[in-house]
Amino acid sequence: MATLPVRPRRNRATESIRSLVRETTLTPSDLIWPLFVVDGENERVPIGSMPGCFRFSRDILVQEAREAFDSGVPAVALFPALPESLKDPLAKESANPDGLLQHAIRDLKEALPELTVITDVAMDPYSSDGHDGVVRDGEILNDETLPILAEMAIAQALAGADIVAPSDMMDGRVGYVRAALDEAGHERVGILAYSAKYASAFYGPFREALESAPKSGDKKTYQMDPANVREALREVMLDIEEGADMVMVKPAMPYLDVIAAVRANVDVPVAAYQVSGEYAMLKAAGRLGWLDEDKVLRESLLAIKRAGADMILTYAAKAIAVGAG
């Protein structure tokens, strides 16, 4: 027999050897659980295109977050599902100290002070136009949107949010929100910037969950073109200069190259968002019996981490952490 000195398979021979040479591991502490909150009591309203996901009323939200936290998930990211009657062109409800989201933040911090509560800063759940900015004559106005984002972030910080996450992609919003938070005495509240957020069709199920789809037009004048990666680095650099504590790439699995490029170029922590459409895709194939849902979810999250993400927002966070997939 010819000798073959180099045999990579030797390092894969047993699970114990594989565990020694493993380069990346996935643990619950890498995960952030995005949660939808709805008014009412004892509510678990299913979301059709996101099997296993619900809009929870605040009481259930606290129970669910506690189970996730007890299983090792350190953080949740909150999104309010509001009735149309509370939406208007200027997203006024977003600054209401008595609003649904603000109550949910207080409930969570009271029950679970160690849980990190991340809140989204963007107009869309509150906007009758379904856009992340102020709309005038079909145009999304940048500078007119910034003060609304700042008020929203301050209301969230006052309620107890640990980290605010601007997801709107307006220019200059991180710096604007940072200054506003500092001026209001919230210098300890962090900013997780949705820096490279693409105009993606993978957000469809999320918009169903919040009934927040744009009433007209699309988000291409503010969210990024899926064709671009250098532009993502520019966005990330700007957000860091403006004071972002962490940056995000979104979606995740179709954008692993972007995650890797960002990781290679910055020293701040990098988050990736496995968005609603990614989750829906894997769950749908699982339901049809075409894929092993638990295995593909874990593999996809491991791959996102391997690409360079320090933390991952995923709707599967609790299921992965408790081991049910």
Q: Which residues sit at the interface with ligand PBG, rule CB under 6 A?
A: 120, 122, 124, 132, 167-168, 203, 206-207, 219, 275-276
Which tokens in the block code for residue 261? Answer: 């490029």
CB nearer to ligand PBG: give 89 or 111: 89
CB nearer to ligand PBG: give 2 or 312: 312
CB of 203 to ligand PBG, least distance (A): 4
Contact (CB, 8 A) for 124 and 156:
no
CB nearer to ligand PBG: give 122 or 301: 122
CB of 2 to ligand PBG, least distance (A): 53
Distance CA 303, CA 154 (A): 35
Q: Longest Cα pair distance anywhere in the chain, in angstroms?
A: 78
Taking CA 179 as the corner, what is the angle to CA 115 and CA 97, rounded to the nearest 5 degrees?
55
CB nearer to ligand PBG: give 187 or 218: 218
CB nearer to ligand PBG: give 176 or 203: 203
Instruction: Say how many CA atoms lie within 13 Å of 318 toward its Cβ.
Output: 18
Closest-CA residue to 175 (of 198, 199, 142, 200) = 142
Among residues 87, 219, 250, 283, the one annotated as catalytic is: 250
Among residues 87, 197, 219, 305, the one annotated as catalytic is: 197
Judge whether 250 counts as a catalytic residue. yes
CB of 78 to ligand PBG, least distance (A): 11
Judge whether 197 counts as a catalytic residue. yes
For the annotated catalytic residues, the residue numbers are 197, 250
